[in-house]
Structure 1
Amino acid sequence: MEVLRAISAEPQLEPFRGEYEKLHRLLLSSHDGEQRLLRQVRELRNELDTHHQQIATAMHLSQEDEEAIRSLRSEIEAAWAKADAAHDQEQRSREILHTLRQQVTELDATVERTAGLSMGQEAYLRNLLAVKKDREEESVVLHAALNRTEAEHRQVCAQLAAVEQAHRAAQHELEVQRRAYQELLTSLEVEQRERTAKEASVRQYRDTTELCMRRLDERGVEVERAIRDEKRASKEAEGMAQEIQAIARQLQERQERFAVEAARLAAAERENTMLTHELPQRQAALREQQDELKREEKKLRGLEKSARAQQQELSALVEKRATAAAAVQTRANSVDTALTQLAKEEKDCGVLEGEVAKAMQRKTSTVHTNTLKATASARVEGQRVIEAGKGRRLEQQLGVLRTENEQMRKSIYYAEQNHEKHTKEAQQALLNYHRTLDTIRARRSEAKVVEENIVHHQKKLKAQQELLNTLAVDRQKTEKALQETEAELLLLRNRHTGKNEELESVKTELIQQEADMCQLHGLSRQLNKDVANTEQRLRFLREDRQHAENRVEALRSESQQLRQVISQYDLEARQQGARLTAIKHERNTIAAQLLLRSEEIELVREKIRLSDAARVSGAYKYQRALQTLVASRDSLVEQRLRCRLALVRLRYLDRLHTKELQQEKLLSKSRARVRALADELGTKHNVHCWRSMESNAPEVLDALAKVQLLQAKLLRRHGELKVKTDLVEQEERAYQQLRQQLAKLPGPEAAEELALCAENLQQRKAQLLCMTDSLAEAEQEAEALEVHVTQLQEELQDLKHRYYQEKTRHSVLQQEERLAARTWGAGVGAARRAGTAAVSSVGNSGGAVVAAGTLTPSTQQRPHLHAGGSTLLNNSHCGLTAAVRGPAGSGSVDNASVQHRLVRQRALPDEAMLNTLTAGPPRPNFPLQKPPHQRQFVGGGFSLSR
């Protein structure tokens, strides 16, 4: 719109305006078409991206389904392999069970064949005697071991007494060290008081230094005043400026020294800040070490308590050993008495059996014809009773042996578990002991590192004190140099006061003449520049016309290109539609395949569930088979025990063979008697044989009654013998348990461990004392360092403040020196030029303008078109009158200074006008030029969209 308004203001550019509006319309239409095409392209791209994402998701889902199917197949194969392995194991276990059952039946048959009651009892008694001898030997060994343990216990008690004495001595040493520590604390307090006194002296020194610095500041202000007064000097100022430069160089050197010292102080401050940051961490670490030391002390106390408890347990176990040995002796004596009684009873039984056999042999001849049937029936009944008793006894013996076997297993299992537990506890105690030793060593190393750091910080503090001393010396030197400079500045002030007045009068005259010349030169420059600006505007307008024509051509070419692009995008849209239809068909097929595969997966899952159920049932069966295997193992163990008993019994085969012959003879006799009795039973006369025996042979009846009584006694004695054998077995078990307990008791290694624990206790107590001392020293040093750090920070802040003040003053001095050098150099040049201008003005009135044109430098700046010429003329007229009146009224110094100020005030707007007039040609304001960050086509045109 601004362009159209500018064109409408000029009637010559109306055709160009129409063309411009047409071009603008075409550009708007092309821009709209571009935006539509871009929208369509974006929509197509979004659709393509969505289709690609859907295809990728479908492919990813299909891949995941394939992977799931593969994993399920592998799991099914693994499950079938496990089921096959379980089936094979079941078959093997069944075969093993079958073989074990066959072996059990064979062993039962062999045991039943080889079982003999009397021989088994004799072998059992012999085994008991052998066990008795072994027990006596073991009791002797146990007595020796008890004596050894008592001696070891006495040694341990002596060692404990020595350890307690050492502990008391260590406590005494602790008290002595605590007293020394208190004395050190008192000495520290005295040192701290001395240090506070020194700090007060240092503060006084600081106050004095601050007063000196204030005096220096006041003198610096006076120096600045003197420098301002020095500006009025002319020729002698150059020599004095050299002297001032030398002084400035000295000041720079001193400032550099101050900067180096400030850098050192900054480094020291950083180190101090680091130390302040590290101090709480180290204090926390020391506190943690103290806590850990307390924990270790608690652990040591626990170890001492455990050692005392172990000692008490040892004493209790020794007492138990003594009681067990006494019990073993009493039980051995009771077993000996029981065995003697059993031997006596067996002898009585043997005598009775011999008497009964003799009586039977005597009376069988007499009563052979009458009592064959009665004796046969009695013998048959007796054999039946004996066989039933044997069966019951064997069953009872089997039950007893089973219970004994189970008890023995349990005792062995519990003993193994207790042994493993005790070994684990001992290993854990040793590990804890070694860990505590390692932690103590690490703490020692950390304490050494802390001590080294403290020594290093002390060295740093000494270096910082030396730096402070050097700074004090440098301050004294600077104070002396400043006093000397003050004296010199007073001399300079006295010299330069007289010459300032002359220089000011000369300056005012020169400035008036320069102002007049500058105004005339500005007018001429402005006219020349206006002409050049108009010519350049014409050139820019022609160039803009050419650019517009080129843009029209470029827009036409762009419209053709856009049509081609639209046709291409239409083709691509059709192709994308075809692709969309194909992708939809593929999607439908993939969805159908996914459904089929999901059904297959469900079938596979059902198969897996069935296989899991089968696997669970197989596992249950496998557990049952394992249980049966365990039961068969137990039965096998029992059968092995039976086999061992049978083997023990088979050792006495010869005697059994002789007894078998005797039994065969008795069987033949009994068979003859049975036959005779059967014959008698066949007859009808011997029905009441017992009554006939009462009348005919009462002695035989009495002998039979005695035999029956003797058999009852034998049965009772056998029962008593069983009870006594059970008691003997129980005593053996108790003896074995006592023996196992004695074997588990600690030996001489416990005494060594207690000695090591005592040594470790002493070492740790010494370490604790060292750590507490070092901790107290570190805390004191940390407090001292904190105080010193605060002092150094305060001093550093003061030094920084002073340094920055000196720096600002020095920068102000340098700026004033530069200004003075510029002003003095400009004043000398202006005086010379004024002399030449005065000479030329006497000869020719127009020479001033030429001289002004040659003297003033030209500065190219952009002009402002609305700069008025009347103001320039008025200013030039006023300047000329001021130049005419200036030298006429330069009678007094005051009038010259007032005129100088008026000329400077008038020269400021004149200088602004000169700047506007001396500016370069303006840039074209035509808007069809290429703006920044705008797109350009190939043909040369520009698009409205970025």
Structure 2
Amino acid sequence: MEETGSTGEDSFESLAEFQLVLSELVGDASMDKIRVEYEKLIHALKKSRENEKRLMSKCRELNAEIVSTSTKVAAALKLSQEDATTITSLKRELDKAWKMVDAAHDKEKKDKETIRKLQEDVSNLTKMAEIQTGFSRDQEQNDLFNMIDELTKERDKLLTTAEGLREKLNKAIATQQEIEAKRERAMESISQLQQELQVQQNEISREMRLKEKLDKEVKQMHVDMEARMGEIKVLNLQGQKAKEEQQKLEQQLKELKILNEKSTKELEQMQTKNTKLQHECEQLSSTKEHLSLQNQQTINELKMREEEVSQLRQEVAKQTKMREAIQKKFHQIEDQKADVDVQRETLKAQIAGLEKDLESSQKQVEADKKAIEELIRERDILNKNLIKAVQSTEKQQNLVKLLEQDKKTLEHEISGYRLEAQKQRKIIQQLEKERDRYINETSNLIQKVQQKMNDVEVRETEIFDWKKKVTEAACKLKQHENLLETVVSERNLYSKNLIETQEEIAEMKRKMKTMNNQVTRLRDEISVKELALAKDQQEHKRLEKENETLKAELQLIKLQLEETKQCVDSQKTEQQKLQKIISDADAEQTQQKKQLEQVIRERDSLGKQLLHSNDERTLLYEKIRIQQSILSKGDFHYKQRIEDIRLLKLEIKRLRRKKSILDKTLPNTEELRQELFHLQRQLLRERARNSVLEEQLKPINIHRWRQLEGSDPGKYELIRKIQSLQKRLIAKTQDLEERELLLQEKEKLYVELKHILARQPGPEAAEQLQQCQWTIRDRTKKLKALIAELRMLDSKMNEYKSENQRLATELANVTKKYLSEKKLQSEQRTKIKVEHPELLPQLSSKPHFTGGGFRVDNPVYGRMSKQTTKEKMLTLCVHSGLPRYKHHLLPKPLASPPSYFMNIRELMLAGRESRKGLGQREKESVD
């Protein structure tokens, strides 16, 4: 992160430099378009930098959320460990409770055996009483009373022990039920916690993978950024070197200007000397030789400058090679983009496979629906069985009512045993109170269970919300990853564009500096030329005056003029030819201007096309982002559906287990009914016995003990069995209510699943996806075509730049030639002024070449042997068609140079015209 911050600071330092450059470019009207595009690029770079910062802050926030979720997962793991310890403790308590229940069952069996033994003893005693009728009645009566007292005491003891055992048994059953409920809750909580642990572990692993991927991508981004920054630094160093070289060249040019100024001053001094030393021709010849040497030196310097220009051209070639390497890198990146498109198509194929899996899962859901319908049918069957059981219980209650009526009739008959009946009533009331208490307890427990179920539902909703939050966070992470990738790609594109624009701006700066230097130099030269022109005009006026004086002399030499007229006519024809050449050059100039305008229009149209293609590209990127977000949402919904299907499968398995448990308990109902029926029969028998015993205990019968046939010890057992059966019925009704609640919950879940499945995307979404894929492919093809067009346009732009450079070099050469020619003209002018007006003898009859190389072997020049040099120069000027102050073959100087050389293009055209005129005249002179 620190490295990225340092690179960001470097980039913003370069941005500050770019803004300085922009402030320099504000004044130039010709650089407005470049400045606007440059400002756009800087604005885009700033935006990308801000987006990068925002994404880095979001990454930090996501890392903080991941840390918080990891802490929560650790807390959940600790809670699961604590729950495991509580589960082990509850299992131990369950084992203890089951041991207590087994001990209670053993005690109950022992009590039953003792009761049976006591019944056998009573039957034996009755038999013994019947056998021992021979004993005396008093002894038998006393023995019987003693036996009855002992039996009543034993019965009371047994009743107390049975009540204690019953209470213990009830407590054990209650504890057993509570422990079973706790165990079921603990198992449910364990299963939920295990599921949550699995989900959280999966989410943690997923987040860790995402984090690793992000770390890798960030590292790669850092490496790429470092490499790009290194390239930028290298390019900056190269630019600095080029700037230094440019500064050196500027210094050299300044030195050359100083030398030129010195030479001009020296020339002025020489002119003054020449005016003073008109008669010293030998000194003039020496000065001429000196000037020729200086010309040779300037030619050598020009050659040196041409070598330097060639070196600069080599450097430009190197920079073009660098640019071609960057373009190759850009092509490689486009190839990588094509590979990414291939990967995207593979991912689309995977999505199609996942859609097939979704269809199979939907089929499984339909199968699960069928299983749920079968379970509903089984529930209906169980409800019918329950109704039958309720009807049988109602019948049993009716029988109980009949038995109570019989009991009331027996109570009227049994008046002696009211105390015992009252005791029994008290016992029954206590039992009813216990029943009511147990019913209240069961209702309270049911309420608690409902509260717990509500708590479980609330917790499930909270877990579902957390899962939603986690999935939303994952979606946000994916979106941020996509945004990061897009920002990275945009940043790479912007960095490439920035590098290219920097190079172009550096080139434009160099060109601007060279052009500014040329403009300043030309302005100075134009000012100097204007002064020279003023002087020339004065000299021209002076020469016209001299011409007027010489007209008298020319009238004397009419014969010579008539002979020279022929030469003048020939020169006129040549002049007409030159005018035609000048008109052709003007036509070429107009054509070139038109071509330049067409090139500018093409450049503008290409710029518009580029902007249009950039807009289309941005639209395509936005559409691709929308499609990616839709795909991510589809993945998210698909994962939710898979999780819902998994939960439904788990619930179906649990329902099947409960169904198997209920199927196992169903055959026991018939056995319970048979037991109830046998118990009712035993109760009727015991009541009949009770009535017989009450009749025997009446005082009317004196020998009532002789009618004793057996005691009635099974009444308490019958009551106890009735109570146990009632408790079982209550437990069964509670189980049925719980199952009905579970079935209602399952129906709700089934309805919710139906709604969710109805909301899921159908085949229309797949068709839309296919259409989007087709459109994306078409757009990619169009993009490739546009990129190819861009490359072609770049190559054309490079060609135009090379042409511009060539034209600039030609312009520089033309200006140098123009200056050298002007110097030669000034030298010729001084010679004309300095030369002596005496006649010089003709040296030889060989052909001579004067001025620009015209032949002078005409017989007219034989007559001119006795003329002055001044007259010779005048005749030469007349023959050559040039002004009288010039010998070199150049076109006539312009009347108003400042207005003509206001534009660089016009200067270039003037250079071309002068060059063409020079070439043609040299050819004609050679001919």
- Structure possessing the higher relative contact order (Cα contacts under 8 Å, 6 or more residues apart): 1
Q: Which has the larger radius of gyration?
A: 1
TM-score (norm 2): 0.29
